[in-house]
Every structure is written in C-alpha cells, then in structure tokens.
Amino acid sequence: MADDRLSQFLKEGKGWERKVTNIPGVFLIKLPEYRSRPPYIAIEINPVDTSGMATKKRGILIRSRSELEKISNILTNAKIIQLADSIDEVNPEKKTKSLSTETDVFEI
C-alpha cells in the first residue's frame, strides 16, 4: 500500500532525499526537521527530459492539497499561459541535459 511506503519513507528517508514516482515529472522529497517543525514529505514538480531525468536541480515543492490547488489555479490562468508563450518567443532556445540517474521508482 502506498501509505505504508510513504510512512516508511518519512521515518527512514534522509533529509532532502528524492524518490522517483511512476508519474513523469513528479517526485517525492523528504524535508528535514527544521526548528520546531517535524520532518515531512512534499511533492516536487520538476519537468523531465526524454530519458525521464529531472531537468532542474529543484522543482516546485507542494506541501499540502490546498497548496496544490492554489498552484494549479495559478498555472491554468490564461494570462500566465499567454505570458509563457511570449517568453518562448523572446528567449533563445535552451539546451537540456539530465542532472542525475534515478533508479528506485515510487509507484502511486
């Protein structure tokens, strides 16, 4: 069961450890304890290249369902889509390379 694996990852994972999921571009990150906040797991959204490797060192971290809903609303706003199109037109084309090799896939 996924909940058991998540609990195990929370207990045994190292701080900032990243787990690959079976959803391309979606990773799990264990955030370490910080001051009075206990360690917890967050979702990382990070685009992947053709080989399935993350294209950025760190992606967007999502800590809760409400945060996911807020980010989703921002990303689907027509104005931000239009802005991204405009940026594509003015920016030079970027070369991509993979940052690391991920082996253990976390099934969701």
Give the tokens for residue 4: 């058991």
Strands of the chain, DSSP E: 18-21, 26-31, 40-45, 60-62, 105-106
Listed by start position, the domains of the chain span 2-64+96-106
pLDDT recorded at residue 2: 73
| pLDDT class of 103 with cuts at 50, 70, 90 | low
- pLDDT tops 70 at residue 98: no
Q: How far apart are CA 60 and CA 49, in angstroms?
A: 16
Contact by Cβ (8 Å): 27, 18: yes
Q: How far apart are CA 87 and CA 14, in angstroms?
A: 37
User: What is the four-CA torsion angle of 90, 72, 26, 1, rounded to 10 degrees?
Assistant: -170
Q: How far apart are CA 107 and CA 20, in angstroms?
A: 8
Give the tokens for residue 10: 């929370």
- pLDDT tops 70 at residue 65: yes
